[in-house]
Amino acid sequence: MAFKQSSSPRLIQWLMIALLVIITDQLTKVLIVSQFQYGDSRFVTSFFNLVRAHNTGAAFNFLAHHDGWQRWFFVGLGFVATGFIVWLLRRHGHQTLFAWALSLILGGALGNVIDRLWHGYVVDFLQFHAGGWYFPSFNVADSAITLGAVLLILDELRRVKRG
């Protein structure tokens, strides 16, 4: 299937953003894995720690306590999502906010897929806490996915307001 001449440069731009997310995510995880043992935690501020946690599930450890099938389920889901997102970027790459959102989600999803393939789990290391309450640890890929989801919501709200 050939790209339209006008959409190809835009697609490459969006894929480069996703690649930047993947590289940033993987570099930070390499640093954590090289400097921390599993379960280590380092105090940074009164509300933030760097930790090394492993997540075999999805967000908030969803499905983490199963016998391993979820690894391949999430890898497969990541590849299906990748195909769908690239298809959307090819068709809607001219919609800047929408394409930014998809690029961030794509980079984050693939960053975590790489972890699942390489380690069998996702490396998490950012931990916020207050008053004895700890938010589940997360990583750069998770942050990109979250920001992408927020941008999708904003894009839709703008679309509804215009419509």
Catalytic residue among 25, 67, 115, 142: 142
Tell me the pTM: 0.86
The average pLDDT across 80-109 equals: 96
pLDDT at 4: 47
pLDDT at 76: 87
CA dist 13 and 15 (Å) reads 6
pLDDT mean across residues, the chain: 89
CA dist 85 and 107 (Å) reads 10
The average pLDDT across 74-85 equals: 90
To the query of whether residue 142 is one of the catalytic residues in this protein, the response is yes
Residues with Cβ within 8 Å of residue 93, at least 6 apart in sequence: 7, 10, 11, 13, 14, 99
Q: How far is CA 127 from CA 12, 50, 107, 117, in A?
A: 33, 6, 21, 24
pLDDT at 137: 94
pLDDT at 3: 45
Q: How confident is the model at residue 30 (pLDDT cuts 50, 70, 90)?
A: very high
Catalytic residue among 25, 115, 124, 155: 124
Residues in the chain: 163
Tens digits of residue pLDDT in 119-142: 989 999 999 999 999 999 999 999
Burial of 106 (0-12, 13-18, 19+ CB in 10 A): buried
Q: How confident is the model at residue 7 (pLDDT cuts 50, 70, 90)?
A: low
Tens digits of residue pLDDT in 53-79: 998 766 555 555 546 566 678 788 889
3-state SS, residue 65: coil
Q: Nearest CA to 106 among 21, 26, 27, 28?
A: 21
